[in-house]
């Protein structure tokens, strides 16, 4: 989350809607924070991706990866 704080900020520099009810000569502290947008329901593609990821092995060794690549290359030679 990002946050910006300005202290001793002149009310006169604020947008009109924020100045309502405050004297123009006053100083204020202004804090601005970003909000995380709420996410809607997941699409079917994302749900399927999560399902597939759960079935994958947690870790693949270099040897396993090399063996898999070699087997794929040998399929091309056939």
Predicted local distance difference test score (pLDDT) of residue 23: 95
| Proportion of the chain above pLDDT 90, given as a percent | 50
Backbone angles phi, psi at 32, to 5 degrees: -120, 125
pLDDT of residue 76: 79
The residue ranges of DSSP E strands in 2-75, in sequence order, are: 3-10, 27-33
Domain boundaries of the chain, sorted by first residue: 3-33, 44-77
Query: Rounded to two decimals, what is the model's pTM?
Result: 0.45
Tokens 């996410």 -> residue: 39
The single residue listed with the structure tokens 């009310």 is 11
Q: Per residue in 30-55, pLDDT tens?
A: 999 998 877 778 888 888 998 888 88
């Amino acid at each position: 989350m990002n946050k910006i704080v300005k202290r001793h900020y002149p009310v006169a520099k604020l947008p009109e809607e924020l100045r309502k009810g405050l004297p123009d000569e006053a100083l204020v502290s202004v804090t601005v924070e970003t909000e995380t947008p709420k996410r809607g329901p997941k699409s079917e593609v994302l749900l399927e991706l999560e399902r597939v990821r759960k079935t994958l092995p947690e870790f693949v060794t270099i040897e396993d990866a090399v063996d898999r690549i070699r087997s794929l290359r040998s399929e091309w030679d056939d």
